[in-house]
A and B are shown apart, each in its own frame.
Chain A
Amino acid sequence: MKHLMTALTIVGLLLSMSSGAQVPEDGQTSRELGILLEAPESRAELIARGEAVYEYWCNACHGPEMLKPGTAALAIKYQGALPAALTERTDMVPEFVEQMVRQGISMMPFFRPTEVSNADLGALTAFLTDNSGD
């Protein structure tokens, strides 16, 4: 949770710098994540943004709890050969993450750039592949 709060603070910062994205003056929560249009320069910021995107868009289905439908389905699919929770995976490559987000699979629908912008998808990809071997 603390991790996430740090991430959100950074995100606020990023948003005020990126073009097009707006943070309303009263800091309404629903807009807090906002939409990123340009990738941040530092890798740490990129990954923090990716984690925030993950928390906001992916976690409800792919969080570590087995009741989460994405995690439950992947547990059945991989039968222990790979971790069911995406954040525990070390084998993901960017193309795979991009394809899942923009094409979906099975019951998982695709996500649009008005939800996960291309820059946000880049950040998400960086976050999810951060611990993959090169």
Chain B
Amino acid sequence: MAIPPGINESDFTAALAEFENAVGKDWVFTRDEDTRLYRDAFSPVQNEPEEILVSAAVAPDNVEEVQAVVRTANRYGVPIYPISTGRNLGYGGSAPNLSGSVVLDLKRMNRVIEVDDKRHFAIVEPGVSYFDLYRYIQDRNLKVLIDCPDPGWGSVVGNSLDHGVGYTWGLYRDHFIAHSGMEVVLPNGEIMRTGMGALPGAESWGDYRYGFGPHVDGLFSQGGFGVVTKMGFHLMPEPEAYLKGIVTVPARQDIVDLTAMVNQLEHQGIIGMPNYNTPLAPHLATPEVSAMLSQPFAQAAQELERWAQGNELGYYSVELQFYGPRETVQSNWRYAQRLIGDIPGATFETLHELEWPIAADEAEGLHKVALGIPNLEIFRLGTRQSADTLGWDGEMWFAPIIPKNGEAVLEAQEVFTEAFREAGMPSFTHPASTPQTWMYRAFVFLMGFPVSKVDVAANQRQREMFTHLANLGAEHGWGEYRTPPIFQDLVMSHYSFNDHVLRRFSETLKDAVDPNGIISAGRGGIWPRHLRDRSA
């Protein structure tokens, strides 16, 4: 039996017995065949000494059981790590930051407490997946859309607590901002409610997120301050219509005007999520274009642009998505064309027009999450693409935040592409790379690094490059919004203004709220006092 660090065997045995008392024997897992199911399935350190493993897992069914488990853990100093559905693939999966922790698996707590389609909110427990919430809403014919991440199997709560993101309208797709009120079991076992939930008898938990006083909810996201057992979320009312149009522009520099115009649309609430891309994508791997791209950046960029213009392909595209009344989506699309029409050579095409209720076959082949329909189709990315090659075994996401403008995109293209060239590695970026737009007010210059279940050397190379890019990005003022546990200390070290006062402040709070350091030690780069020398 694996034992958590800093605990003696008899204390751990006693704690496990108390866990069994609290949740029932069936829901305490200590055998290897069960505990290995809490590894990170996409671990970039798989089968290496650094791989993070767990000593046990405990799966309570309700908040009283969570309290009992937390009290026991606190008494014996057992490190615990709460997960909701534990599908944080690409950012650490179900594995904790501290090897040997006991995972608190909240999957069984899967009650939808309430969905209101007049005030537009939901209150859910951690085990509720996007699929579950969608089904609940569909079965009751409620007129609200959910905003889901690409994989629908994740937890509405867990995704939000790692600052997860989705695909519809403005602030709905920033899942932490979209939350309203939480219930948390604190490290001493007490239950706290935030926002209006703190006021006994208030019925506005799902409506108003701040209540009164300091807004402490942020401590429970990417931090080890408590176990969240319920959360409210604002939902978007089901609109009448959806329209998606695509804009193409011909020149590399056009991204500067294009992003400014799209921001102008988005920040007034005229469009939902814009999807930037390049029409060159299908051609990048051809021998002609890849030879072009292997040159130093400035030359590669110049030739690529000339090639794109010679072939009349366009250089960037952006899909604009309109949600709202039938007439409004049409006139908003016309306005967008008038605005962006100022870019010489811009072209426009209407792609899809739908009205709710959207039948399953109408959504087939579309990006379903933009319509609020959870699914797993994203996993076609990376799975086997030909009979004689295996697909990836997973990926880790490199996700730096850059400013929401074209100048930053141009700079990030160059900085990262040159870094790959200098390292002699095939580049994940190129002079036409475009950012992800999940955050309402920032871009993410996302890259997926492949991980292997068998090729340790390849994983090591990918980790080195990941680390290099994270450091390089930080020199340019770009920092990750989220990262797998093995990089969390590094990323936190980049947020270093005034001698790391942000981290030191969080550590002060951590020591006060969780003096035994039992909850999610190391999460977000914040370690409890007794483990602090672990982080650089």
**A contacts, CB < 8 Å to B:** 20, 22, 24, 28-31, 35, 37, 60-61, 65, 67-70, 72-73, 76-77, 79, 102, 104, 106-115
Q: Is the CB of B37 within 8 A of A110?
A: yes
Closest to B37 in A: A112
A-B contact pairs, 8 of them (CB 8 A): A69-B377, A69-B378, A69-B383, A73-B384, A73-B391, A79-B387, A102-B37, A113-B29
A60 proximity list for chain B (CB < 8 A): 131, 152-153, 375-376
B533 proximity list for chain A (CB < 8 A): none
Q: Is the CB of A109 within 8 A of B89?
A: yes
Q: Is the CB of A37 within 8 A of B26?
A: yes
B152 proximity list for chain A (CB < 8 A): 60
Contact A28/B37 with A109-B89, A112-B105 known, Cβ cut-off 8 Å: no
Contact A30/B112 with A37-B26, A60-B131 known, Cβ cut-off 8 Å: yes
User: Could you tell me which residues of chain B, from 366 to 411, have a CB within 8 Å of some CB in chain A?
Assistant: 375-380, 382-387, 390-394
With the chains together, A102 CA to B376 CA distance in Å?
19
Closest to A20 in B: B26
Q: Is the CB of B24 within 8 A of A115?
A: no
Which of A31, A106, A115 contacts B384 (CB under 8 A)? A106
Q: Is B312 an interface residue (CB 8 A)?
A: no
Contact A107/B105 with A29-B136, A30-B110, A67-B365 known, Cβ cut-off 8 Å: no
User: Could you tell me which residues of chain B, from 120 to 138, have a CB within 8 Å of some CB in chain A?
Assistant: 128-129, 131-133, 135-136
User: Could you tell me which residues of chain B, from 89 to 138, have a CB within 8 Å of some CB in chain A?
Assistant: 89, 93-94, 105, 107-108, 110-112, 128-129, 131-133, 135-136
Not counting A30-B112, A30-B136, A68-B377, a sample of 17 additional A-B residue pairs whose C-beta atoms are within 8 angstroms of each other reads A20-B26, A24-B111, A30-B110, A37-B26, A60-B152, A60-B153, A69-B380, A73-B380, A102-B33, A106-B384, A107-B382, A107-B383, A109-B89, A112-B57, A112-B94, A114-B107, A115-B107
Which of A29, A110, A112 contacts B139 (CB under 8 A)? A29
**B contacts, CB < 8 Å to A:** 24, 26-27, 29, 33-34, 37-38, 41-42, 57, 59, 61, 86-87, 89, 93-94, 105, 107-108, 110-112, 128-129, 131-133, 135-136, 139, 152-153, 364-365, 375-380, 382-387, 390-394
Q: Is the CB of A73 within 8 A of B383?
A: yes
Q: Is the CB of B135 within 8 A of A109?
A: no
Which of B27, B111, B133, B139 contacts A31 (CB under 8 A)? B111
The residue in A37, A65, A69, A72 that gathers the most chain B C-beta atoms within 10 A of its C-beta is A69
Q: Is the CB of A109 within 8 A of B384?
A: no
Q: Is the CB of A69 within 8 A of B376?
A: yes
Contact A76/B110 with A69-B380, A107-B391, A114-B105 known, Cβ cut-off 8 Å: no
With the chains together, A29 CA to B394 CA distance in Å?
31
With the chains together, A113 CA to B26 CA distance in Å?
10
With the chains together, A37 CA to B365 CA distance in Å?
38
With the chains together, A77 CA to B390 CA distance in Å?
9
Q: Is the CB of A106 within 8 A of B376?
A: no
Q: How far is the CB of B261 from chain A (nearest CB, A)?
A: 33
Q: Is the CB of B61 within 8 A of A109?
A: no
Q: Is the CB of B29 within 8 A of A109?
A: no
Q: How far is the CB of A74 from chain B (nearest CB, A)?
A: 8
Q: How far is the CB of A79 from chain B (nearest CB, A)?
A: 6
Q: How far is the CB of B104 from chain A (nearest CB, A)?
A: 11
The 6 residue pairs across chains A and B that have the minimum distance between CB atoms: A109-B41, A30-B132, A69-B379, A73-B383, A114-B107, A69-B380
Q: Is the CB of B24 within 8 A of A29?
A: no
Closest to B41 in A: A109
Q: How far is the CB of A115 from chain B (nearest CB, A)?
A: 6
Q: Is the CB of B61 within 8 A of A22?
A: yes
With the chains together, A78 CA to B459 CA distance in Å?
28
Contact A76/B386 with A28-B136, A29-B139, A35-B108 known, Cβ cut-off 8 Å: yes
With the chains together, A110 CA to B105 CA distance in Å?
15
With the chains together, A67 CA to B87 CA distance in Å?
21
With the chains together, A113 CA to B139 CA distance in Å?
27
Contact A30/B135 with A106-B390, A113-B34 known, Cβ cut-off 8 Å: yes
Closest to A37 in B: B26
The residue in B27, B86, B380, B385 that gathers the most chain A C-beta atoms within 10 A of its C-beta is B380
With the chains together, A30 CA to B448 CA distance in Å?
32
With the chains together, A64 CA to B376 CA distance in Å?
14
B380 proximity list for chain A (CB < 8 A): 67, 69, 72-73
